[in-house]
Amino acid sequence: MLEYIADTDHYRKVLSLASSVKRSLWIGTADLKDLHVEGRPFLGVLSDLVKAGKEVRLLHAKEPGPVFREEFDNYPDLFRGLDRALCPRVHFKILVFDGKVAYIGSANLTGAGIGLKGENKRNFEAGILTDDPSLVASAMDHFDSVWAGFRCSSCLRKADCPDPIVR
């Protein structure tokens, strides 16, 4: 499977994959906001995954806004079970589902970015959804190199890093 994603139905598919993972969900995004999926907060989806013992990694570039933080407080399971790292250099948008399927594209994890804010309010984004093993492995390697801090030693923005992965 290799799908080009550029419309609302495809983004619904990407987000529905998130709620159906069996083992793990990795999310890399520059920006994240109080995203809702079919009227439900996406944080609720993540909380359900964490409660079910699934690995959820969230790698993002900046602290979310006040609405997201307020909503986050409604899900205490995320305090304990969500693996989160902050890196101001992250600009990629990658979601990896169970290490078998990946979304690689331009959409941030926001209503306007992922395409569900409204037909006339969404950004013009593009991406691919794939189960090609080499593309999924490449996306995972790229994500993991930041997640594990392998990029920190050569980073020239350490002074701007509010929560360094590697100190």
- Per residue of the chain (167 residues), give pLDDT as tens: 766 666 666 677 888 899 999 999 999 998 888 777 777 888 999 999 999 999 999 999 988 888 888 889 999 999 889 999 999 899 999 999 999 999 998 887 877 777 666 667 777 778 899 999 999 999 999 999 999 988 888 887 777 787 777 76
Whether the CB-CB separation of 123 and 44 falls below 8 Å is answered with: no
Q: What is the DSSP string of 42-61?
A: HHHHHHHHHHTT-EEEEEES
Domains of the chain (ranges, CATH numbers):
2-160 (3.30.870.10)
Q: How far apart are CA 159 and CA 16, in angstroms?
A: 38
| Residue with tokens 């083992």, as numbered in its chain | 23
